[in-house]
Amino acid sequence: MNIAVFDLETNGLVGSSVLSASSIVFDGEGNILELFNRFYLPLERPNEHAVRVHGLTPGRLLELRKNVETPLYFLEDWPDLLSFWDDWGVGGVVVHNLSFDASFLPEIAQGAYLWWCSMKGLATYCAIPKRSVNRGAAGSFKWPKLGEAADIICNGPGALPPPKATKRAENALGNEFPHVSLFDCFELYRMVTSIVRHHKDLLRFAPVCVPFRPPKFRIHETRKMRISPLRDSFTTNILTYEQKLRSLRKGR
pLDDT at residue 83, as a whole number: 98
Residues 60, 50 contacting (CB under 8 angstroms): no
| Mean of pLDDT values over 127-136 | 72
224 against 30, higher pLDDT: 30
Residue 224 confidence (pLDDT) above 60 = no
Q: In which domain, by residue range, is 34 found?
A: 2-247
Q: What is the mean pLDDT of the chain?
A: 92
Q: Quick check: is 127 in a domain? A: yes
pLDDT at residue 130, as a whole number: 86
Q: Quick check: is 81 in a domain? A: yes
Q: Quick check: is 46 in a domain? A: yes
pLDDT at residue 215, as a whole number: 87
The tally of domains found in the chain comes to 1
DSSP H or E stretch at residue 198: helix 181-198
When mean pLDDT is compared across 44-53, 80-89, 117-126, 159-168, the lowest value belongs to 44-53
Q: Quick check: is 73 in a domain? A: yes
Between CA 169 and CA 46 the distance in angstroms is: 34
Q: What is the CATH classification number for the domain harbouring 13?
A: 3.30.420.10
Q: What is the dihedral of CA 53, 207, 15, 104, to 10 degrees?
A: 70
Q: Quick check: is 252 in a domain? A: no
| Mean of pLDDT values over 193-222 | 88
When mean pLDDT is compared across 18-27, 71-80, 219-228, the lowest value belongs to 219-228
Global confidence as pTM: 0.94
Residue 28 confidence (pLDDT) above 70 = yes
Between CA 246 and CA 32 the distance in angstroms is: 9
